[in-house]
Amino acid sequence: MGLYVQLLVDGLFLGGLYTLAAIGISLSYGVIRIINFAHGEFVMLGSYAAFWLATLYKLDPLTSLPLVVLGGGVAGYLLFRWVIRHVLEAPHLNQILLTFGISLVLQNLAVVLWTGDLRSATSVVSYAAAELGPVLLTFSRLIAFVVAVLLVVALLGWLKWSELGRATRAVAQNQQAALLMGIPIRFIYALSFGISAALGAAAGGLLSFLIPLSPWMGFPLVVKAFAIVALGGLGSVMGAIAGAMLLGLSETAVSYVLPGGSGWAEGVSFVFLLGILLLRPRGIYGQALEEQHR
């Protein structure tokens, strides 16, 4: 029984981080209708930002997280204003190729600036742990999970209660009606893309003291994020949360149960992605989203 409780706790912790990494993709697609293949690189840049702030200025990754989030948001906003907005009316293939090209540029820029050596940041909670009955709680993963949940709740609250959040939801539901109501569509697009990038950078800042960092760390993360978004339904924030929790629990279960499970767990996202495309292409919440847009 203790093993199953530990599995549940670790799966929830992992799902919380996956939620933070994937919800930005869901937000940007739901509002702008562009699938951002460079989202994983914002996670990577957030991790390196936290690492260098810790290395050069002795800032704990948790302390520097607001700076990382702010930097990611500004970078995402400017990237949309300078680059992404030019392909809003272009075919989807052009949009995909552009964001994929941005991903390659950022990867290679990181290699040139910081080499391909593995690095990691250290937080004050990196080596702290406590036993709660049969469950071992590592403080680093616990605090990362709590911060991720707080950021997701803040996003949901902003979308529900703030004026800009309601305007963002209106654009996601019906862009033409939002334009007729006087909502600045292009500003909402840029703001949503900036928030998406900020959430990705926040996930990277939290991962900086949990996993080794490299310029290529964004690709496997973005694959999992796309699996989560497809599982929950493209453009559905609540679907992304459900998909992230399901993937986190499934990966943890595979790594606990199967021999050599940590290696097999990396393939779970591909199994989910293939299964959802075959059995329910619109995802868990996709039907509701589709009806909402009609």
Q: Give the contacts of 59 (CB within 8 A, at least 6 positions apart).
A: 53, 67
CATH of the domain at 22: 1.10.3470
Q: Which of 248, 288, 232, 229 shows the shortest CA–CA distance to 39?
A: 229
How many structural domains are present in the chain?
1
φ and ψ at residue 232, rounded to 5 degrees: -80, -25
* pLDDT tens across the length of the chain (294 residues): 677 888 899 999 999 999 998 999 989 888 998 889 999 999 999 999 999 999 999 999 999 999 999 999 999 999 999 999 999 988 888 999 999 999 999 999 999 999 999 999 999 888 888 888 788 889 999 999 999 999 999 999 999 999 999 999 999 888 889 988 899 999 999 999 999 999 999 999 999 999 999 999 998 888 888 888 888 777 778 888 888 998 898 888 888 887 766 677 777 777 777 777 677 766 666 543 443 443
Domain of residue 188: give its range.
2-293
Q: 185-207 vs 163-173: helix axis angle to the nearest 10? A: 110
Q: What is the per-residue pLDDT for 257?
A: 80
Q: What is the per-residue pLDDT for 216?
A: 94
* Helix, strand counts (H, E) of the chain: 13, 2
3-state secondary structure of 259: coil
Q: What is the per-residue pLDDT for 192?
A: 95
Six-digit token pair at 132? 């709660």
Regarding beta strands 135-138 and 129-132, do their DSSP bridges make them parallel or antiparallel, or are they unpaired?
A: antiparallel
Q: What is the per-residue pLDDT for 278?
A: 76
Sign of CA dihedral 100, 105, 110, 112: positive
